[in-house]
Amino acid sequence: MVDFFLAVGLPHYLGLGAVLFCVGLYGALSRRNAVAVLMSVEIMLNAVNITFVALSTYVAPAAAAGQIFALFVMTVAAAEVAVGLAIILSVYRQHATVDVERLDSMRG
Amino acid sequence: MADVGLSVAFWPIAALTVVAALAVVSLKNLLHAALALVLSFVGVAAVYVTLRADFVAAVQILIYAGAIAVLILFGILLTGNAIVGNPPNRLRLPAVALSVSLAGLLVWVVSVRTVWPVDAQGGDERLTPVSLIADALFNRFVLPFEVASVMLLAAMLGAIVLTRQD
**Shared-domain flag, residues B83 and B110:** yes
Q: Which domain holds residue B59?
A: 4-128
**Shared-domain flag, residues B27 and B62:** yes
Identify whether A100 is part of a domain.
no
CATH number at residue A26: 1.10.287.3510
* Percentage with pLDDT > 70 across chain B: 88
**Shared-domain flag, residues B30 and B17:** yes
Number of structural domains (chain B) is 2
- C-alpha to C-alpha distance for B136 and B142, rounded to whole angstroms: 8
DSSP-derived 3-state class of residue A99: strand
pLDDT tier at A18, thresholds 50, 70, 90: very high
Give the rounded distance of the alpha carbon of A54 from its chain centre. Answer: 16
Beta strands (DSSP E) in B34-109 are none
**Shared-domain flag, residues B69 and B133:** no
**Shared-domain flag, residues B74 and B133:** no
pLDDT tier at A46, thresholds 50, 70, 90: very high
Helix axes B30-50, A34-58, angle to 10 degrees: 10
- pLDDT on residue A98: 81
**Shared-domain flag, residues B155 and B120:** no
Lowest mean pLDDT segment, chosen from B54-58, B123-127, B151-155 = B123-127
Cβ burial B77-97 (10 Å sphere, 16+ → b, else e): ebbeebeebbebeeeeeebee
Answer yes or no: do A67 and B162 touch at CB < 8 A.
Answer: no
**Shared-domain flag, residues B100 and B135:** no
- Which residue out of A1, A2, A13, A31 would a mutagenesis test of the B interface target, given it has the greatest number of B Cβ atoms within 10 Å? A31
Whole-model pTM: value is 0.90
Identify whether A41 is part of a domain.
yes
Q: Cα B154–B157–B163 angle (5° rounding)?
A: 135
Q: Which domain holds residue A67?
A: 7-95
* Interface ipTM: 0.91
B chain contacts of residue A17, beta-carbon cutoff 8 Å: 110
Identify whether A12 is part of a domain.
yes
